[in-house]
Chains A and B, each alone.
Chain A
Amino acid sequence: MSKKTTLEKFIGVWNTKTIVGVAIGAALFGVLMNFGSIRIFTNTSLTTAMVVPVIVGGLFGPLPAAVAAGVGNVIADLISGSGFWFDWSIGNAFLGLFIGALPLYGAYIEDGIFEVKHMIIYAILCVIGCGISFGLVTPFFTYLWYGGELTITLYQSVVGSISNIIVLLVIGIPVLKVLASRNSRGRNLKAE
């Protein structure tokens, strides 16, 4: 763990490893969005895909997580064929910034650090992130690009936020825990 400023942690290091990680994250996001999801409302589904940006964020930082979520959503649209909804892609990318912010408050999945206080911060950020991205960002772009008819977007936002929060908390925390414990070997060693 080298010392970095918050901004550096936010942007992440854009080396080859990060690029590959983001690409794989985007592909996983696209596949899970289409095959690992259960539809509950128009264009809204309970999907395990939302966990992927969290992991990308845990490994590489918030901005890579956002790119993975955004590109992943566009890919999901492209292979599922339910039309293009870039307002939702941007909303998801924005959500990626929040849920992928694990390194900013000291949860390093790669080094196996994910404790109770990190879980609490993560949960709060999930709720705030869903609120901001689906309550403000997505409706704003919907209004800008598709005009009018905000009622349905708002219904979708509420349903989408709730289902995402459920997925992020109920599935996300155990997955992060598993990944952290998998990487935790060598944590208690000291340099002599």
Chain B
Amino acid sequence: MNNFIINLIPGKTFLHQLSGTTKVRLFFVLIVYLIMSFDLRLILPVFILGIIGLISLRPKLKSVRYIIIFVVVMNLVNILLYYLANPHLGMLYFGHETIWFQFNDYYIVTYEEVWFLLSRFLKMIASFLISLDFILAITPSEFAAGLYSCKVPYKICTIVEMAFRYIPDIARDYQNIKVSMQARGVELDPKKTGLLKRIKQNILILIPLVITSFDRIGNISNAMDLRGFGKGKKRSYYAEHEETPNDKKVKIVYILLGLFVVGYIIGRIFFNVSEVWYPF
């Protein structure tokens, strides 16, 4: 199902070789950067960087292609629903509207609206690319090490790390339960069943999935206790390595970017810097 998404062995490319701390901090800065603005001038460079990063990671094309198509279609549907929910966003953001064409009195298409929805779409795709790059480049242990370096308590780091490690297991259990349900004669093909039946079938899978998953708590926690988890106040990570020259270069980039983000947010709050940009 998603066995490609989470990799447990670090790869060989530039992004893979960075230390966990660098990856996590760079990722956080970029996510805040993307959240703070709808400005196309700020989004576009990250969008292009995301594509370059994705290509440089050399992922398995077949599986990544599937998820990219899925996300692009989903986001297009979201944008359409966004338009249907409020076709006057251009007015809200830019304060003026230029009508392109209109369906009726309420549903008009304006240039500002199209511009805003384009920015929004690119913003979503850019943050998707960044998170895909991040997931492809990092291993769960490096993620935990990176979070720990940002002063997150290590118990929380462990939660995140274990959750990531556990996802492939859950996906496998889900498949197994589905197959055994089908062997017992439950129809699970979405084409042959309606919405209500599908919900019912989801429950039929959910209960065994929950029970098998939570039954393992005892085993895992005993194993961790036996290895002395949670005894010390601090901990170190085997996956974390010393800063390489590349790490130092990226460090300068994310510190500068972080300063820019802080400046921009202060500007937004105190000096009325606009979060959107409309050139025409």
A residues apposed to B, CB below 8 Å: 14-17, 19-24, 26-28, 30-32, 35-36, 38-39, 41-43, 46, 48, 51-52, 55, 59, 67, 71-72, 75, 77-84, 86, 145-149, 151-152, 155, 171, 174-175, 178-179, 182
**A31 and B170 form a contact (CB under 8 A):** yes
Q: B63 CB to closest chain A CB, in angstroms?
A: 13
28 A-B contacts (beta carbon < 8 Å): A14-B155, A15-B221, A16-B225, A16-B230, A17-B217, A19-B221, A22-B159, A23-B158, A24-B213, A24-B216, A26-B159, A28-B209, A28-B213, A31-B170, A31-B171, A31-B174, A38-B198, A46-B199, A48-B203, A51-B206, A78-B131, A78-B135, A81-B128, A82-B128, A146-B35, A147-B275, A152-B85, A175-B203
Query: Which B residues lie within 8 Å of A51 (CB)?
Result: 206, 210
Chain B residues 103-156 with CB under 8 Å of chain A are 123-124, 127-128, 131-132, 134-135, 155-156
Chain B residues 165-223 with CB under 8 Å of chain A are 166-167, 170-171, 174, 195, 198-199, 202-203, 205-207, 209-211, 213-214, 216-218, 220-221
Given A48-B206, A72-B163, A149-B86, 20 other A-B residues pairs in contact with their CB atoms under 8 A: A15-B221, A16-B224, A19-B221, A20-B162, A20-B224, A23-B166, A27-B170, A28-B170, A31-B170, A31-B171, A38-B195, A42-B77, A82-B75, A82-B128, A84-B127, A145-B36, A148-B92, A149-B92, A171-B206, A179-B210
Q: A40 CB to closest chain B CB, in angstroms?
A: 10
In the complex, the chain B residue whose C-beta lies closest to that of A174 is B203
**A36 and B221 form a contact (CB under 8 A):** no
Query: Which B residues lie within 8 Å of A84 (CB)?
Result: 31, 34-35, 127, 131
**B174 and A42 form a contact (CB under 8 A):** no
Residue in B5, B34, B81, B218 whose Cβ sees the most chain A Cβ within 10 Å: B81
Q: B230 CB to closest chain A CB, in angstroms?
A: 6
**A42 and B85 form a contact (CB under 8 A):** yes
B residues apposed to A, CB below 8 Å: 1-2, 5, 31, 34-36, 67, 71, 74-75, 77-78, 81-82, 85-86, 89, 92-93, 123-124, 127-128, 131-132, 134-135, 155-156, 158-164, 166-167, 170-171, 174, 195, 198-199, 202-203, 205-207, 209-211, 213-214, 216-218, 220-221, 224-225, 229-230, 275
Q: A61 CB to closest chain B CB, in angstroms?
A: 14
Q: Chain B: interface secondary structure?
A: helix
Query: Which A residues lie within 8 Å of B158 (CB)?
Result: 19, 23
**B217 and A27 form a contact (CB under 8 A):** no
Query: Which B residues lie within 8 Å of A59 (CB)?
Result: 214
In the complex, the chain A residue whose C-beta lies closest to that of B153 is A14
**B85 and A24 form a contact (CB under 8 A):** no
The distance in angstroms between the C-alpha atoms of A178 and B89, with both chains bound, is 47
The distance in angstroms between the C-alpha atoms of A44 and B85, with both chains bound, is 14
Known A15-B230, A30-B167, A81-B132: A24·B162 in contact at CB below 8 Å = yes
The distance in angstroms between the C-alpha atoms of A81 and B78, with both chains bound, is 13
Query: Which B residues lie within 8 Å of A26 (CB)?
Result: 159-160, 163
Residue in B1, B127, B195 whose Cβ sees the most chain A Cβ within 10 Å: B127
**A16 and B221 form a contact (CB under 8 A):** yes
The distance in angstroms between the C-alpha atoms of A55 and B275, with both chains bound, is 41
Q: A79 CB to closest chain B CB, in angstroms?
A: 6
**B210 and A71 form a contact (CB under 8 A):** no
Residue in A17, A146, A175 whose CB lies within 8 Å of B207: A175
**B123 and A83 form a contact (CB under 8 A):** yes
**A16 and B163 form a contact (CB under 8 A):** no
Query: Which A residues lie within 8 Å of B135 (CB)?
Result: 78-79
Query: Which A residues lie within 8 Å of B216 (CB)?
Result: 24
The distance in angstroms between the C-alpha atoms of A174 and B206, with both chains bound, is 11
**A24 and B214 form a contact (CB under 8 A):** yes
Known A31-B171, A59-B214, A83-B127: A36·B206 in contact at CB below 8 Å = yes
